Amino acid sequence: MKLRTDDDIYRARLIWLGPPGYTLPIQLSYAQWICGAVVFGVFAALSWLLTGGAWSGLGIALGATLPATSLIFKFVDPDRPARKILATVATDWRRTPIPAAGPEPRLTARKVRVTR
C-alpha cells in the first residue's frame, strides 16, 4: 500500500529521496541538489585558489555550501523560483550611480499658529 500526500505543491516539487529502497534522511528537491553542487563548485574553486592549489579547503567549502544553499532556498517558493532569487541578488549588488553634486536643500521652518 502506497501512501500519497494530498499536498499538490509538495508532489509538484519533484523530490528526490534517494535510490529505491535506500531513501535519504532528508528530502531535497532537484533544484536544491543542483544549486548545492554549483555553490560547492564555486566555493571549492575559491578555496583552491586561496590555498595555492591545495585541496585542503574542501571541508570548509562543504561547510559553507550548506548554509549558503539553505539561505538561497529560504526565499524560494512556488511563486518565486530560485533563478529569480539569484537574478535579484546579482542585480542588487550593482551600485547605484552617485547623483551629480547640486545645490543643497534648504531647511526652512514656518511658524504655525494653532487656534481652538
Q: Do residues 60 and 47 make contact, with C-beta atoms less than 8 angstroms apart? A: yes
pLDDT band, very low/low/confident/very high, at 89 (cuts 50, 70, 90):
confident
Domain limits, the chain: 30-83
Distance CA 110, CA 52 (A): 66
- Residue 39 is predicted with a pLDDT of 93
Distance, CA of 102 to CA of 112 (rounded, Å): 30
Q: Which parts of the chain fold into alpha helices (H)?
A: 8-12, 30-50, 58-72, 82-92
Q: What is the pLDDT of residues 3-46, one digit of tens each?
A: 565 666 555 555 666 677 776 667 777 788 888 999 999 999 99
pTM greater than the 0.75 cutoff: no
Query: Cell 585558489 belongs to which residue?
Result: 49
DSSP letter at 40? H
pLDDT tops 70 at residue 96 = no
